[in-house]
Amino acid sequence: MSKTAQSVWDNCLKFIKDNIQPQAYKTWFEPIVAVKLTDKALSIQVPSKFFYEWLEEHYVKILKVALTKELGEHAKLVYIIKMENTYGNKQPFTEKIPSSNRTAVKSQDVDIPLNNKSPELRNPFVIPGIRNVKVESQLNPNYSFDNFLEGDSNRLARSAGLAVASKPGGTSFNPLLIFGGVGLGKTHLAHAIGVDIKDKYPEKTVLYISAEKFTQQYIDAVKKNNRNDFIHFYQIIDVLIIDDVQFLSGKTGTQDVFFHIFNHLHQNGKQVVLTSDKAPVDMQDIEQRLLSRFKWGLSAELQTPDFETRVSILNNKLYRDGVEMPEEIVDYVAKNIKTNVRELEGAIISLIAQSSFNKKEITLDLARIIVEKFVKNTKREVSIDYIQKVVSDYFQMDIDTLQSKTRKRHIVQARQLAMFFAKKFTKASLASIGSQIGKRDHATVLHACKTVDNLSSTDKQFRKYVEDITKKLSV
């Protein structure tokens, strides 16, 4: 009986199935269709370029063994890549087989119009078991464009967000990266975009997730051997919103997987929205190829709001809560809390609470006390950059010196102090502290913290350093 593409492939599948995890088999081999057999070359159709890359990266060996068993040692494998073409390119379905003597031969990317004739593969995400999963958006409906007040400080980011929301994946703002300092509205705006999209396009799959949670999920997936499921889950998303991507810094595994997911989504015209506390140029320990992707779309900064905007944010908040407050108090709060909208809101909420619980009238004095508390408390929310600056200023060296590889004692000590304070005053992980302070690893940071602890209990001079810097960081 003569061999057909189907019979050869069926035999390969039997062999492969016996040699890999059932889930991996389901995910990566079931969606493949055997297309053609010519002499020693078997052509198989895979749902996407990503799929092909994945097979090449992880299963090329087993494919080779299986195919050689069937077709002899000159066997060749040709991939035909099917893709959902979201840009309406009318290119017909063609295949190209570059000459190569590798077992696995890569065929040219092939774009097929959406109305092609093989409906069973129209959707490149034919992933058994995942197809019917309904994705919970994780969006907070309280964050909308309506209650995100516009001002000079946020006009670009807000308008870009609106544009993205009305045409997800259809603007040049892809990805849209919103960056800015703490409490300036990144998370709010990110949710607002998702909420608006869900409103306009209920059928779209929107997902909001923090980079931290994304990382955790990924680590869990790897532990449970579900990496493929993880990737596939993210590939079915139409609008992926990842908050605080700076969290990925130094996490190469997660960056890698995000890179693949990003490429897949972008290639398929899906929208990606990212937020970060820094502009791409200032991000540390993020792979270059990922940074360059971030820059493909638009980076829009959220700056600190000016006085007028701060007043309108406060008035809006009071209005929504149905509370009246004398104008001079609103002005006082707006004048004194300048760099963080979250604190601005926090102060006004405290004021309302104080006055209603204690039945006190809201006076300027009460406002003063509360504002003071806020400004003081939040001063402690220092950044690692700021800590490095304070420590290097204290020792009269520049930050480059502090971060350098030198083993000179006073520089090493300054660096260790910076690490110690970063651990003490920020929520950053040891790894992230290390990567930001001269690209050290977490063990070095841990060692630094212990050293500082030891020295400050044994060395008087050193204890003074710690006390002085603590004071500087707490003013």
| Residues at the interface with ligand ADP (CB under 6 A) | 147-149, 154, 180, 182-188, 313, 341-342, 345
Quick one: which H or E segment has residue 43? strand 41-46
Burial of 376 (0-12, 13-18, 19+ CB in 10 A): exposed
Give me the half-sphere count of Cα atoms (radius 13 Å) on the Cβ side of residue 46: 23
Quick one: which H or E segment has residue 452? helix 442-458
DSSP letter at 281?
Answer: G
Stretch that binds Mg ion, among 178-186, 213-221, 228-236, 330-338 (CB under 5 A): 178-186
**Residue 341's binding partner, choosing from Mg ion, ligand ADP, none, with beta-carbon cut-off 5 to 8 A by kind?**
ligand ADP
Q: Binding of Mg ion at residue 246 (CB under 5 A)? A: no
Structure tokens at 225: 């051997």
- Nearest approach, Cβ of residue 350 and ligand ADP (Å): 14
Q: Binding of Mg ion at residue 276 (CB under 5 A)? A: no
Cα 272 from chain centroid (whole Å) = 10
Helix (H, G, I), strand (E, B) or coil at 271: strand
- Say how far apart CA 322 and CA 304 lie, in whole Å: 26
- Nearest approach, Cβ of residue 36 and ligand ADP (Å): 53
Structure tokens at 116: 């092609």
Structure tokens at 32: 């493949």
Among positions 120-139, residues that touch Mg ion (CB under 5 A) are none
Closer by beta carbon to ligand ADP, 314 or else 422: 314
- Nearest approach, Cβ of residue 179 and Mg ion (Å): 11
Stretch that binds Mg ion, among 85-93, 179-187, 279-287, 299-307 (CB under 5 A): 179-187
- Per-position x/- string for 186-205, each x denoting binding to Mg ion as judged by CB under 5 A, each - no binding: xx------------------
- Nearest approach, Cβ of residue 335 and ligand ADP (Å): 18
Closer by beta carbon to ligand ADP, 55 or else 337: 337
Closer by beta carbon to ligand ADP, 106 or else 186: 186
Query: Which position has the token pair 């890359």?
Result: 53
How many angstroms separate the Cα of 69 from the Cα of each of 4, 105, 346?
15, 17, 69
CA R_g for the chain: 28
Closer by beta carbon to ligand ADP, 178 or else 445: 178
| Residue in the shown chain whose Cβ atom is closest to Mg ion | 187
Query: What is the per-residue DSSP string for 61-80?
Result: HHHHHHHHHHH-TT-EEEEE
- Nearest approach, Cβ of residue 345 and ligand ADP (Å): 5
Closer by beta carbon to ligand ADP, 10 or else 306: 306
What does the binding site for Mg ion look like in residue numbers (CB under 5 A)? 186-187
